[in-house]
Every structure is written in structure tokens, then in C-alpha cells.
Amino acid sequence: MFGGGDRPPFDKFSIDQNKKYGEGGYGATFAAADKATGEKLAVKIIDTRRMKLAAIEKECQILEALSHPNVISVKGHGKGGDDKTQHLYFIFMELAGGGELFDQVIDRGANAMPEATARGFFRQMLDGVTYCHLAGVAHRDLKLENVLLNAAGVIKLIDFGLSHVYPRLADGTVDRSKPLRDVCGSKSYAAPEVLASRGYDGFAADVWSLGVCLFAMLSGFFPLDEASVNDWRFPKLCDAQANRRSTTEAVYSWYKRSARHLTPEVVHLLDHLLMIDPSKRLTMAQLREHAWVLEKPFAAPDQGVFNPTQVVGDEGPTYRGIGSGTYAEVGNASEMLEEDEMPVYRSLGEPEESLMPAQPTPTLARQKGKFNLLDAEMPV
């Protein structure tokens, strides 16, 4: 059975193997087209000898159930039908040929992305991730490389191969009562509770990853190479947060740099996205109402109480995006998915850091997602 109908994918789509968009640990992405309409598409070709078929089908099932302007859409999928392609799985998707958000950061070199530009991208990411969370889907590998742009500059979340789908309770709410245990994702973006190999909430872990993405956009480097004791910076960050110091300013101080080019609003936002204790981290609801996201200067220390934008109607929840004001239907998407096994504060000063030699500022590098970050298995 092929997604998008009962016809084999080659009957509906053509592939141009001379035009490759990217390559990963399990396969590559090429140009494709819909034979009937001529619509330009992309096809992700995965080697089933290197990635379990069940995992591939799960990702397709998730994507088929999601429909949002900031989530990549699947047009069809299925296994190859002859001796040469029977070990390959083909996923035909809408084309997002504008490159990765990662490229938008790297191409600037030492120049940080302006806050206004970062805000435009970040708002779209929030719209896409919020929609996924309403549908019960925790992405678990949010990173700049998994955000593509189309020709119009609209961002598309991709690669749901590590995602988790939460079940629904009888009242229709998402049941997040069972902690997740998979140590998955990409190391520089993974939340500390994920890397610590203890139970965690997938939505809170996504919020940390969003914080890493925003920090990298505005700074040109990661706040940490890895949010664990394997990184010399992590204990320093734990100490800074224990002493109620600004995370953003602490990270910059390690490299004898100032964060004064950042507005107080975005420093506050980053500090509260990158809280090591997930219970102190902003929720998605609070994040969407933050002053920086809404492009409002701080009028008072209190950020206020979140007013949900979700409205539950007869046909299920609907969702209003931050930027466009349009609605994207969630409907009963999660029912289609089967589950398998603060106040503003400033830095109090860092005299102990000032006595240390400046460390070299780290650079950004592409990250490989893994099903298990604790072993050396093939990356996603």
C-alpha cells in the first residue's frame, strides 16, 4: 500500500537523480515532479538496509496526519518495485528549495543575524512546533538543519524520524504523564534531561532545542557543544543558573564577549528557554506570549499570563498562527497516529571568569541526529 493512493510512486512521480538536494546517514534527497500536474517536488530515498522500515513508515504516518504551512507535506511514499530498488523507500514531498535555516546562519560568517530577521524565522518555527504539539507530536530533533525554506521564504519543519506521538485521554487532551526515555536527537541541540538519560517531557525538550536554534541564529555559535558533564561549559552554566545569573551573558563571558548587542527582551527569552531545570523553562504557551516574540518592549517586569490561542470547536482544536493570523486545522490528526513502543534579571557579575584566559569562540557545525546519542550507531 502506497501513501497518497494505491498506485506505485513511480506511476505518479518522476525523479531527477542528476539534481541532489542533500544526503544523510540513511539516504539522499533528489529533485522530483508530479507527472500529472508538473509540480516540482523533492524525493527522499532511504536505504531500508540501514534504517528500519517500521521507523520510516512511522515518519510517513506522522507527516500524513499533519497539515500546516510550516510543516513539510508528503505527496506519496512507498518501496521500490523492482530488483534494483526494492531495498529503497521513496518519500515524495513538497519542494522547499531555499536551503536550510542553518545556511542562513553560516552564510553570515562572523556577523550575527539581526533580531528582526531571526524573529521572522523563529515565529514560523513556533507556529509549526505549536501545531505539532497540539497534535500530540514531540519532534525531538529540532535544529537549524531540520528547517527548510521554500522559494517564498516560508520555513518548513522536516525529519520527523525521531518524533514521539503522545496518546490522547478520553477527554481529548494529550497524555504526557509517561516520561520518555529515548536518548535521541542531535547533541548540541538536545536538552540536558535527554542527555542525562532520565525520563523527560518531549514538549519541554523541544523548547530547549528552540532556544539553541535562536541562540545560534543571534550569536553564530552554540551555547554548549553538549548539555552534559562531557562539556566543560555545562557545570559553569549550572553554577550561573544556581546563582540567578543570566545564561546568555554567562555564555558570552566565557569568550570575553559582551551580549550588549542583544535587546533585554531577547536575553530574557533565551535565558528562560535555556533553563537546565525543565520545570523552570518556558512552556510553549508562555513562549508564544513573550514580549520579544510579539515584538513588544518590556513595559513591566511581569510577562503576564498566557492566553491560549487554541479554540476547541465541534470538529476539534484549531490554531491561530503568530504571524499570518490564519488558521491551520489540527482536527483529529493525533487519532490517526498509533503509538509504538518570570522577572527580568541581569548578570550579577562574573569575577571568577574575568581572571581566566578567553576561550576560543566555538563555531557552528552540522549535527547528525541519532536514535541513541549514547552509542556510535549510524546517524539519521
Max CA distance (Å), the chain: 68
Whether 227 contacts 216, CB under 8 Å: no
The CA distance from 42 to 148, in Å, is: 12
In the residue annotation, 141 being an active-site residue is answered as yes
Tell the burial category of 300 from Cβ atoms under 10 Å away from its Cβ (0-12, 13-18, 19+): exposed
One of 141, 201, 206, 271 is an active-site residue; which one?
141
Q: Which residues of 254-273 are buried (b: 16+ CB within 10 A; e: fewer)?
A: beeeebeebeebbbbbbbbb
Cα–Cα distance for residue pair 68/295, rounded to 1 Å: 23
Q: Which residues contact 94 (CB under 8 A, 6 or more apart)?
A: 41, 42, 72, 73, 75, 150, 156
Cα 62 from Cα 76, distance rounded (Å): 13
Helices 202-219 + 115-134 axis angle, to 10: 170
Distance CA 88, CA 376 (A): 24
| Crossing angle of the two packed helices 264-273 and 202-219, in degrees rounded to 10 | 140
* Amino acid in the structure at residue 335: E
Q: Which residues have a catalytic role annotated?
A: 141
